Amino acid sequence: MNLLAPRNTWYPLTWSRNVTRTLSRHRILGMDLVVYRSEAGRAIALDDACPHRLAPLSMGKLRGDAIECGYHGMTFGPEGRCVRIPGQPVIPPNARVPSYPLHEKMGLVWIWPGEAALADPSLIYDLPQHGEPGWHAAEGDALRIETNYLNLADNLCDPAHVSFVHLSTLGNSASEEIPVEHSFGERGVLVWRWIKSAPPIPLFAKYGNFQGHVDRWHYYDYIAPCIAVIDFGSADAGIIADPADRGAGLRIFACHFITPVDDNICIDHWLHVRNFALDDADVVQRLHADFRIAFNEDKEILERIEQVARARPNAKTIRLAIDAAPQRMRRIVERMVASEAEARASA
Amino acid sequence: MNLLAPRNTWYPLTWSRNVTRTLSRHRILGMDLVVYRSEAGRAIALDDACPHRLAPLSMGKLRGDAIECGYHGMTFGPEGRCVRIPGQPVIPPNARVPSYPLHEKMGLVWIWPGEAALADPSLIYDLPQHGEPGWHAAEGDALRIETNYLNLADNLCDPAHVSFVHLSTLGNSASEEIPVEHSFGERGVLVWRWIKSAPPIPLFAKYGNFQGHVDRWHYYDYIAPCIAVIDFGSADAGIIADPADRGAGLRIFACHFITPVDDNICIDHWLHVRNFALDDADVVQRLHADFRIAFNEDKEILERIEQVARARPNAKTIRLAIDAAPQRMRRIVERMVASEAEARASA
Amino acid sequence: MNLLAPRNTWYPLTWSRNVTRTLSRHRILGMDLVVYRSEAGRAIALDDACPHRLAPLSMGKLRGDAIECGYHGMTFGPEGRCVRIPGQPVIPPNARVPSYPLHEKMGLVWIWPGEAALADPSLIYDLPQHGEPGWHAAEGDALRIETNYLNLADNLCDPAHVSFVHLSTLGNSASEEIPVEHSFGERGVLVWRWIKSAPPIPLFAKYGNFQGHVDRWHYYDYIAPCIAVIDFGSADAGIIADPADRGAGLRIFACHFITPVDDNICIDHWLHVRNFALDDADVVQRLHADFRIAFNEDKEILERIEQVARARPNAKTIRLAIDAAPQRMRRIVERMVASEAEARASA
């Protein structure tokens, strides 16, 4: 494991709907966790290995809020402390498994893998439109991609690929030559472009009932290390004078909450929030279908690139103008990891 | 290969029924062997690689008691000496393949991988009840388990897991809190416990026609490096006053003869010997079915543990009271290997 | 990659029939190439990785004679030079991918992986009978074998194995004890034997209508590093007085043009050229069927040997008389590689 990922931050672990009274196993940052819900409904994550013989606790049984190991019955409470060793009255003080702070928001369970004392739920990313009147949020999938999570983050700081990769859904050739703009912050990058007075992209052509050309936008908002929200939409050409008035058009936030599984695998937990056809369940299914096509196109290209990169560990690559934001994204993550290392060293 | 296994000892190689006039391939201690039966019926094992170009001899042809390599026809007798090189009159003296002493007992072919001069068949483990009147022996399976053979040996020095792993067959919750007892010898460990006046376990409930509670026993008899025999049974509560009188109850010896295939794989050759329903072939099939359920439960947990252990090469584990016998088991095997190394060094 | 293979030589890359206006991917000497045909019909091979983010160019689109990368639209001409970067007016001078000289001959595309200036098509192996009147050439398959290409070359410098491996097609026991003869050159080895006055082998028995015994020959002509042509045939016993008159019998050239894919994989591109039943398409299919049986026998034995060799990296093997030619073959390839290294060092 040589994963470049800060620890003192919230990561998406899995959809809340997956956390039940049945033990399940999830992997993040190279750690295997057993995840379940307490009788009172609280999500709990423990290290998924009994400290006795390393049997996965997820093979065991839920006894109230505790887990009984399926091999010899050692039992651990929701904070990871051993509460029973069958046939042995004394429980050694080191008989415990690590537990991790969890918090639920936007339909996901978020985990804080770092110092538990710092785990402030208010630090979890907030999309104001999620749950607001006038907007409809729909949970998507957990798309597993066989590449390092920063390679997916590259893709999500990069509106330029849309013109070539997603021609049946999110892009068309009208944007090919339009440069991207960007702004950089302490914790993130924002990359965007407007395509003015051009044919609508296939996805919006279905819902917009546009009679002629449209103005459309793609804003890629990345917040290190695992949040990427794409604000994109379209309106009849000319009607949006101020870019801040994007709500006057058809607008979608496509949220990508990235789980770094380990060095070589990540999961894209995606959902979308839109301001049109709010009561139309059919539109949700059609959008899901379109997003599945598009995100699978990204998955395929990222996985093929990963294979090439592994076969050529010393390959030299060329930087283009569109790489400024992905490069800054990596600098931000590196800085986060380095400052955690410094804090540990000085402590 | 970093397999902790003595060489000057007998190991089970395969069931006698598998050794025929057709060449077959078996792997033990990281060695691939070609195994067959001579015209006179003797089992023979040679190194399964032609010394010319390393073609497996098991791809060749049996010519009387010799094997003709399938690539260029080099032919080797049952002691491994080359007896023919087609197109070449002179046979170099180093043209030979290693051969290994074999002996058949209890339906198995046993192999001595060490110094051939020391291969005394009387050293093979003997279960007096096997083949005796009043007992019926039934051959089971060759269960492949993807873990080092000593991890299976751990499991077979450990009666405590039965209460949690084998609830539908060999165990029930009555034994959860009963500590195990043990005695240690030069070459083995014996671990046991009695569960007095408790409901019968599922397996014996089927055959015992018990009206009330029973006394039951589990004796785990391990002899390094590859023999594990479990003597277990039940009788109406109170009727066995002296533990030596276990024959008065329903009693089964479940024999596990372990083949260390290589570092990561072992085979559990299991059979059972019982003192009830001797003429009932149906009981044999039902016992086989129960044992398959139980031993597959062990296989699953051992293989899952192996995966966890590989993912955490530096994991620290906790020792419990029930680990005394498995720990001693490993010390015995280490001592056997060390004393062989000393003998080689002083020779 | 530690592949012993000279660079300044022609290798078979793939059948010409596989190179079309659809992008395809081929691997040779550990290099992945995208291969296609220009609008004018010329075969083109470029390195199959966009230098921007390493996306395989074979996932892209053909635009005239250029390839547009499927990720961000970078476009490369048939010599590998970048001709377009969407959204960016300046093309950096290092924006290019390697291209390789190709030439088509005998139904195959040949590639020169070394110094392009030295790529003289007249150096490609020539079989005079291919395409001549009185002979019929038939393309076979691309047989993938999981072993280093030099292990296949061993097999193709070795007529002795035919008596044991190919008994249903190319050999019979009459040749078992007949030693092979050989002559060595700067770039190749020739190994042969005649089997006089013996039953015909199965393959020729089908077509020869022989009434009695035949004289047959096997000439194995290897030219380093990747050419192996087997000239074999049969005639009624006694009618060929001079070995040079082999054309008086049924005669086949079985050509093996070997592609070293990487350290562990090669492809045998085989075809055959014969002097009988020239207009009989059915004979071609029957010969194909026989050769498929025979070459799959070689594949199986070579792959099994490879597995044994990997499991025994330090195995000591024995050299026999029949190994003189394969050994010389390896010396020739080593010398070619060494002299290229010297030329580079002195340059």
What is the structure's pLDDT at C328?
98
CA–CA separation, A110 vs A10, rounded Å?
Answer: 6
Cβ-based contacts of A70 with chain B (< 8 Å): 164-165, 301
pLDDT higher than 90, residue C298: yes
- Identify the CATH number of the domain in which residue B85 sits: 2.102.10.10
Q: Is A103 exposed, middle or buried (0-12, 13-18, 19+ CB in 10 A)?
A: middle
The DSSP secondary-structure symbol of A200 reads P
C251 CB-near residues (< 8 Å, 6+ apart): C231, C232, C233, C274, C275, C276
Predicted structure pTM score = 0.95
> pLDDT-based confidence at A2, cuts 50/70/90?
confident
Is C6 a member of any domain?
no
Half-sphere exposure of B319 (CA within 13 A, CB side): 8
Choosing from A103, A121, A139, the residue where a domain stops is A121
B72 and C161 within 8 Å at the Cβ level: the answer is yes
> pLDDT-based confidence at B13, cuts 50/70/90?
very high
Give C 88-107 residues with CB within 8 A of chain A.
Answer: 88, 92, 94-95
Tell me the shortest Cα–Cα distance from A70 to chain B, in angstroms.
6
Give B 40-79 residues with CB within 8 A of chain C.
Answer: 48-49, 51-56, 59, 68-74
CA–CA separation, B62 vs B37, rounded Å?
Answer: 10
Tell me the shortest Cα–Cα distance from A215 to chain C, in angstroms.
18
Choosing from C121, C155, C178, the residue where a domain stops is C121
Residue in chain C lying closest to B89 (CA): C177
What six digits make up the tokens of C241?
């007085």
Q: Which of A163, A305, A312 sits opposite C53 (nearest CB)?
A: A305
What is the structure's pLDDT at C125?
98
In this structure, what are the phi and psi dihedrals at residue A150, rounded to the nearest 5 degrees? Answer: -70, -25
Q: Which of B177, B304, B312 sits opposite A59 (nearest CB)?
A: B304
Encode pLDDT of B114-142 as tens digits: 999 999 999 999 999 999 999 999 999 99
Average pLDDT, chain C: 97
CA–CA separation, C134 vs B342, rounded Å?
Answer: 74
Encode pLDDT of B195-238 as tens digits: 999 999 999 999 988 999 999 999 999 999 999 999 999 999 99
Q: Touching check for C308 and chain B: CB below 8 Å? A: yes
The DSSP secondary-structure symbol of B49 reads S
What is the structure's pLDDT at B19?
98
What is the structure's pLDDT at B150?
98
Interface test with A, best of B305, B314, B319 (most A CBs within 10 A): B305
ipTM for this model? 0.95
What share of chain B in percent tops pLDDT 70?
100
Same domain assignment for residues C289 and C220: yes
Encode pLDDT of A139-197 as tens digits: 999 999 999 999 999 999 999 999 999 999 999 999 999 999 999 999 999 999 999 99
Choosing from C69, C86, C121, the residue where a domain stops is C121
Same domain assignment for residues A87 and A165: no
* Chains touching A, CB cut-off 8 Å, 3+ pairs: B, C
Q: Which of C177, C178, C304 sits opposite B55 (nearest CB)?
A: C304
Residue in chain C lying closest to B97 (CA): C317
Residue in chain A lying closest to C30 (CA): A311
C311 and B70 within 8 Å at the Cβ level: the answer is no
Q: Touching check for A25 and chain B: CB below 8 Å? A: no
Is B342 a member of any domain?
no
The DSSP secondary-structure symbol of C7 reads S
Same domain assignment for residues B202 and B99: no
Interface test with B, best of A71, A81, A263 (most B CBs within 10 A): A71
Cβ-based contacts of B88 with chain C (< 8 Å): 179, 320-322
The DSSP secondary-structure symbol of C8 reads S
CA–CA separation, C26 vs C35, rounded Å?
Answer: 7
A301 and C88 within 8 Å at the Cβ level: the answer is no
Residue range of the domain that includes C249: 128-337
Q: Which of C164, C308, C315 sits opposite B56 (nearest CB)?
A: C308
Encode pLDDT of C189-234 as tens digits: 999 999 999 999 999 999 988 999 999 999 999 999 999 999 999 9
In this structure, what are the phi and psi dihedrals at residue A271, rounded to the nearest 5 degrees? Answer: -145, 165
Integer angstrom CA distances of residue A26 from A7, A74, A97 = 17, 21, 16
Same domain assignment for residues B210 and B110: no
Q: Touching check for C318 and chain B: CB below 8 Å? A: yes
Residue in chain C lying closest to B73 (CA): C164
Q: Touching check for B287 and chain C: CB below 8 Å? A: no
What is the structure's pLDDT at A15?
98
The DSSP secondary-structure symbol of A128 reads T
Is A255 a member of any domain?
yes
* Chains touching B, CB cut-off 8 Å, 3+ pairs: A, C
Cβ-based contacts of B180 with chain A (< 8 Å): 87
pLDDT higher than 90, residue A28: yes
**Which of C156, C339, C334 lies closest to C258, judged by CA?**
C156
For A229-260, give the DSSP string.
EEEEEEEETT---SGGGGGGSEEEEEEEEEEE
- Identify the CATH number of the domain in which residue C299 sits: 3.90.380.10
Residue in chain B lying closest to C308 (CA): B54
Cβ-based contacts of C311 with chain B (< 8 Å): 32
pLDDT higher than 90, residue B2: no
Q: Which of B48, B51, B87 sits opposite C318 (nearest CB)?
A: B51
CA–CA separation, A295 vs A272, rounded Å?
Answer: 13
Q: Which residue has the tokens 């395409």?
A: C131
Q: Is C337 exposed, middle or buried (0-12, 13-18, 19+ CB in 10 A)?
A: middle
Average pLDDT, chain A: 97
CA–CA separation, B282 vs B289, rounded Å?
Answer: 11
Q: Which of A49, A73, A92 sits opposite B176 (nearest CB)?
A: A73
Residues C32 and A308: beta-carbon distance below 8 Å: yes
Cβ-based contacts of C308 with chain B (< 8 Å): 32, 48-49, 54-56
CA–CA separation, A156 vs C48, rounded Å?
Answer: 24
Give the H or E element holding residue A137.
Answer: strand A136-145
Cβ-based contacts of C305 with chain B (< 8 Å): 53-56, 71
Residue in chain A lying closest to B323 (CA): A52
Q: Is A195 helix (H, G, I), strand (E, B) or coil?
A: strand
Tell me the shortest Cα–Cα distance from A30 to chain B, in angstroms.
9
**Which of B276, B244, B40, B29 lies closest to B136, judged by CA?**
B276
Q: Which of A55, A87, A92 sits opposite B305 (nearest CB)?
A: A55
Same domain assignment for residues B80 and B158: no
Residues A138 and A272: beta-carbon distance below 8 Å: yes
Same domain assignment for residues A43 and A89: yes
What is the structure's pLDDT at C1?
60
- Pairing relation of β-strands A188-198 and C250-262? unpaired
Same domain assignment for residues B230 and B87: no
CA–CA separation, B258 vs B269, rounded Å?
Answer: 6
Same domain assignment for residues A210 and A249: yes
Q: Touching check for C288 and chain A: CB below 8 Å? A: no
C318 and B32 within 8 Å at the Cβ level: the answer is no
B177 and A52 within 8 Å at the Cβ level: the answer is no
CA–CA separation, A181 vs A150, rounded Å?
Answer: 21
Q: What is the mean pLDDT of residues A119-143?
A: 97
Interface test with B, best of A48, A53, A91 (most B CBs within 10 A): A53
Is A345 a member of any domain?
no
> Residues C15, C17, C22, CA angle at the centre, nearest 5°?
110
Same domain assignment for residues C293 and C250: yes
CA–CA separation, A146 vs A264, rounded Å?
Answer: 6
Outline where DSSP puts E strands in B237-296.
Answer: 250-262, 265-274
Is C305 a member of any domain?
yes
Is A83 a member of any domain?
yes
Q: What is the mean pLDDT of residues C275-298?
A: 96
**Which of C149, C162, C180 lies closest to C323, judged by CA?**
C180
C318 CB-near residues (< 8 Å, 6+ apart): B51, B52, B92, B94, B95
* Chains touching C, CB cut-off 8 Å, 3+ pairs: A, B
Q: What is the mean pLDDT of residues A316-323?
A: 96
Is B5 a member of any domain?
no
A71 and B312 within 8 Å at the Cβ level: the answer is no
Q: What is the mean pLDDT of residues C325-347?
A: 96
Encode pLDDT of B296-345 as tens digits: 999 999 999 999 999 999 999 999 999 999 999 999 999 999 999 999 99
Tell me the shortest Cα–Cα distance from A95 to chain C, in angstroms.
41
Cβ-based contacts of A52 with chain B (< 8 Å): 317-318, 320
The DSSP secondary-structure symbol of A198 reads E
Cβ-based contacts of A49 with chain B (< 8 Å): 308, 312, 315
Same domain assignment for residues B307 and B167: yes
Interface test with A, best of B167, B305, B320, B330 (most A CBs within 10 A): B320
Same domain assignment for residues B280 and B200: yes
Number of domains in chain C: 2
Is A294 a member of any domain?
yes
Same domain assignment for residues A88 and A150: no
What share of chain A in percent tops pLDDT 70?
100
Q: Which of A165, A177, A309 sits opposite C54 (nearest CB)?
A: A309
In this structure, what are the phi and psi dihedrals at residue B321, rounded to the nearest 5 degrees? Answer: -60, -35
Integer angstrom CA distances of residue C83 from B97, C57, C71, C89, C231 = 63, 14, 16, 10, 49
Q: Computed over its alpha carbons, how large is the radius of gyration of chain A?
A: 23
What is the structure's pLDDT at C2?
73
Give A 164-183 residues with CB within 8 A of chain C.
Answer: 164-165, 176-180
